[in-house]
Amino acid sequence: MQPFVAALLGIAFSGLAVAQANQYFTIKVVDSRTGRGVPLVELKTTDETAYYTDSNGIVAFFEPGLMGQTVYFNIRSDGYEFAQDLLGIRGAALLVTNGGSAVLNIRRTGITERLYRVTGEGIYRDSVLVGAPVPLKQPLLNGQVMGQDSGLAIPWRGKIYWFWGDTARPSYPLGNFGSSGGTSEWPASGGLDPNVGVDLTYFVDASGFTRPMFPSQTFPGPGPKWMGGLKIVSGEGAEQRLVADYQRGGFDATETGVAIFNDKTNTFERLAQFDVHDTMLPACTGGQATRVQISGRDYYYQGTVPPLCRVPAEVARVKDPSGYEGFSPLMTGTRYAKDGSTLDRDTQGRLRYGWKANTPPLTPAQQRDLAEAGKMTAREGFFQIRDVDTDHSVQAGPGSVEWNAFRGRWVMIVKQDEGLANHGTVWFAEADTPLGPWVYAKQILRHEKYNFYNPVQHAFFDQDGGRVIFFEGTYSDFFSAGGPITPRYNYNQIMYRLDLADPRLALPAPVYRVRDGGPGWRYLLKEELDAQTAWPNVEAAAFFAIPPGYSHDGLIPIFAALDKHGTVLRTQPGADGNGAKPFFWALPMHPPAPPIAQGPAGEWSCTAKTATDSDSTSLTLDLRLDGNRVTSAGDSSDVEGTFKEGQLRFVLKAEDQSYALRAAVKAGTLEGTWENRTDAAEHGTLRCSRPAAPRQHTSPAVVPLYEYVNVADGSHFYSTSPSLPNPRLRRSEQPLGRVWRNPLSQLFLDAAARPHPVTAQETRSSDNKAR
């Protein structure tokens, strides 16, 4: 990522407040790595008055009683961490003056990067107050929108069309409950780079407030009208139409169906109404729709996440209940009925999943209930998403699935279903086909005590060939863990970006065992299966391992060669050049101990005690060494000192105090004394150590990979099981390395579904470079 340069935003807002900009003290909080302003950072004074940075990372501070004073701000933000002082407090003391300014560095701890708020009032309020440049035409109030729920977006008619649910207004507590809409320009056609913002033009009424997309004249009756499942479908001839699923009445829907967009009125009209009591269609509509092609025919997958319903992308099919199929283990034509459900099993008792007309898929909750009732085992269930670091089960909630060209796989952004006490936790996963196998996932985002629901990836914004992706979600106190409400940000959409080249996102992928008529077995990854059109010959996913392009520190290469019996795996490439490139990456059986860093540079975990040992404080020091000079990493000014001949001397500033510290630096430790420079009676000892190296891959899902040789024909068989019942298979003494086990008893694949060819319009943003 390149550093964010505010001047490149291009548009300076000249509101009335700018004339008084010199009365404010400007505080800008920036990402210490990129220099970009960070939105949604809380700065709280000692009397608990809280301020929040706007989408430029700016707070315009003006308190008549505090100007000209030194004011201490506690600083916190989900996914970011401000430096800690000697007392363990994260914050900064600033002399606030009229017209003055300060820049504070904050370190990003999460994988995702928060970019800006998309909707709501005052997106750039503080920037406008201090006269800073902003990118939006209407940075303060657009379409009279105070808050908006659950965003949807789709390229249509040369623009990007955006839709939201319930929308709050300034003039009354009740707003628009008929869904809202608007458009933005393509980045390459006058619109903003998605790294910078989304400049929305709302569909508004005569008062200027965003008007209903489902007008009461067309959709009469009480209750909100919500929408989902945006789809571009073929009509008569070559005509394309924009349709959406809808429901009226909120969570307890009194009407469901499909609506079609009228491009002349910019509203939706009823296309078909469904039976609200039939559990098939509610399970197969709404949410985010994923467009695929199967044998040249366009389909949309939607419903749960991962999406387990499909319908052809045709007007005649989306309005007809018989056009929908569910990927389900239920007997065709039946419905979920708790322990009375009829499951489809073959003569060997194996559960048969498949695309079945008039048959809804199971939800995660239904799958759990059937397992508890003894109707199926947990390993037979479709929903097997697990934390790659701990192997804990991840209960999938709302989200979206899109094809990603950079990874060459389908990627999922999904919120964890945490019940009523949500923490806004979001996960990243990937799979070889839209149906999976979806197994290992990485937590990429967590909002402590705050909800972040209905996340959606905007694949049309992908940059650098899909390396950088963008997603947004609803930041809301609804069903949250009970934190204080965040003004302006609450009940609005926040955009994040994710760099898929981050090594923390190196997730294990299936290594398939293939039987294609030979005497032994072959082992292939997705790429080889595609190239050899060998999907029909897949027997099982033998195990999961890191694909060749995802290499990072701590892994070992495993090579594959072919002999007359099939695949042979090796820890070294063959001398004949057969299989010279790594087939996949595994973990060593015994990871080497990390080297002990020498000198004072780097991060230290410290304990400062008083002379009487009556009190102690834990703190973190992050030091930089430049010659003999020692400072804080991240360019902050709270540490200044020297390091000579193994002795470290420096001054640490904390609040309005400063402390003198002396310590001897040895391999992995730092020991010495501290003293308050203002009050020498306040002194004690300091002991620091390097933070313990993170324990990598201690998940119980990480297991040895064993090689077995068939004594009858010499073929090789690979398994994570240390003992197989087949007497012909003789196990090698030493494992090849460690890989991830496959928790599924069945293999869920949909190799016939291919990524939908991207249209010319949808590639207009591909020339954008990530910033």
Report whether pLDDT(481) > 80: no
Q: List the beta bridge partners of residue 545.
A: 509
Residue for token digits 């199967």? 294
CA distance 330 to 314: 26
Peptide bond connecting 437 to the previous residue in cis, omega within 30 degrees of 0: yes
CA distance 167 to 209: 10
pLDDT at 691: 78
Which has more pLDDT, 615 or 424? 424
CA distance 438 to 431: 5
Work out the average pLDDT over 492-509: 97
The three-state DSSP-derived secondary structure of 88-104 is CCEEEEEECCCCCEEEE
Q: Which amino acid, residue 493? A: Q
CA distance 16 to 332: 66
Peptide bond connecting 519 to the previous residue in cis, omega within 30 degrees of 0: no
Biggest CA-to-CA distance, the chain:
89
Work out the average pLDDT over 611-626: 82
CA distance 135 to 487: 21
Q: What is the mean pLDDT of the chain?
A: 90
Report whether 131 contacts 18 (CB < 8 A): yes
Work out the average pLDDT over 710-723: 93
CA distance 285 to 257: 9
Q: List the beta bridge partners of residue 147.
A: 168
Neighbours of 87 (CB within 10 A): 13
Report whether pLDDT(384) > 90: yes
Work out the average pLDDT over 130-156: 97
Work out the average pLDDT over 593-617: 81
The three-state DSSP-derived secondary structure of 459-528 is HHHCEHHHCEEEEEEEEECCCECCCCCCCCCCCEEEEEEEECCCHHHCCCEEEEEECCCCCCCEEECHHH
> Which structural domains are found in the chain, ordered by start?
6-111 (2.60.40.1120), 216-363 (no CATH), 382-507 (no CATH), 508-592+696-754 (no CATH), 602-689 (2.40.128.120)
* Residue partners of 413: CB distance under 8 A and separation at least 6: 399, 400, 426, 427, 428, 444, 455, 456, 457, 471
- Both tokens of 335, joined, read 């419905």
pLDDT at 764: 41
Work out the average pLDDT over 166-180: 96
Supply angle C-alpha 725, 728, 729, rounded to 5.
70
pLDDT at 10: 43
Long-range contacts of 593-596 (CB under 8 A, 24+ apart): 594/693, 596/667, 596/668, 596/690
What predicted TM-score, i.e. pTM, was given to this entire model? 0.89
Q: How far, in Å, are 286, 333, 378, 383, 518 from residue 364 at the CA level?
A: 17, 20, 11, 6, 39
Residue for token digits 């397992």? 371
Report whether pLDDT(1) > 70: no
- Both tokens of 314, joined, read 């045709």
Tens-digit pLDDT profile for residues 530-543: 999 999 999 999 99
pLDDT at 571: 93
Report whether pLDDT(17) > 60: no
Report whether pLDDT(281) > 90: no
3-state secondary structure of 761: helix
CA distance 235 to 201: 28
pLDDT at 610: 87
| pLDDT range class, residue 19, cuts 50, 70, 90 | very low
CA distance 14 to 124: 12
Q: Which amino acid, residue 132? A: A
Report whether 538 contacts 530 (CB < 8 A): no
Tens-digit pLDDT profile for residues 333-376: 999 999 999 999 999 999 999 999 999 999 989 999 999 999 99
Enclosing H/E stretch for 606: strand 602-610
CA distance 657 to 211: 56
Q: List the beta bridge partners of residue 558.
A: 584
pLDDT at 579: 64
pLDDT at 615: 78
pLDDT at 760: 37
pLDDT at 767: 43
pLDDT at 696: 60
Supply angle C-alpha 232, 281, 395, rounded to 5.
95
Poorest-confidence range of 92-106, 614-628, 727-741?
614-628
| pLDDT range class, residue 635, cuts 50, 70, 90 | very low
Work out the average pLDDT over 150-177: 96
pLDDT at 6: 39
pLDDT at 762: 47
CA distance 627 to 621: 19
Q: Which amino acid, residue 196? A: V
pLDDT at 637: 54
Report whether pLDDT(770) > 60: no
DSSP tag of 333: T
Report whether pLDDT(443) > 90: yes
pLDDT at 21: 64
Work out the average pLDDT over 259-273: 96
Poorest-confidence range of 36-45, 163-172, 490-499, 629-638?
629-638
**CA torsion sign, 311 to 316 to 318 to 320?**
negative
| pLDDT range class, residue 5, cuts 50, 70, 90 | very low
* Residue partners of 547: CB distance under 8 A and separation at least 6: 509, 525, 584, 585
Start-to-end Cα distance in the chain: 5
| pLDDT range class, residue 693, cuts 50, 70, 90 | low
Report whether pLDDT(622) > 90: no
Enclosing H/E stretch for 531: helix 526-531
Per DSSP, the residues of 128-162 read: HHHT-B-S-SSSS-STT-SEE---EEEEETTEEEE
Report whether 454 contacts 472 (CB < 8 A): no
DSSP count for the chain of H helices, then E strands: 5, 51
Backbone angles phi, psi at 17, to 5 degrees: -65, -25
Neighbours of 234 (CB within 10 A): 16
- Percentage of the chain lying above the pLDDT 70 cut: 93
Backbone angles phi, psi at 318, to 5 degrees: -70, -25
* Residue partners of 295: CB distance under 8 A and separation at least 6: 752
| pLDDT range class, residue 18, cuts 50, 70, 90 | very low
For residue 583, how far is the Cα from the chain centroid? 28
| pLDDT range class, residue 3, cuts 50, 70, 90 | very low
Neighbours of 352 (CB within 10 A): 15
Highest mean pLDDT among 253-257, 273-277, 308-312: 308-312
Which has more pLDDT, 9 or 88? 88
Report whether pLDDT(2) > 50: no
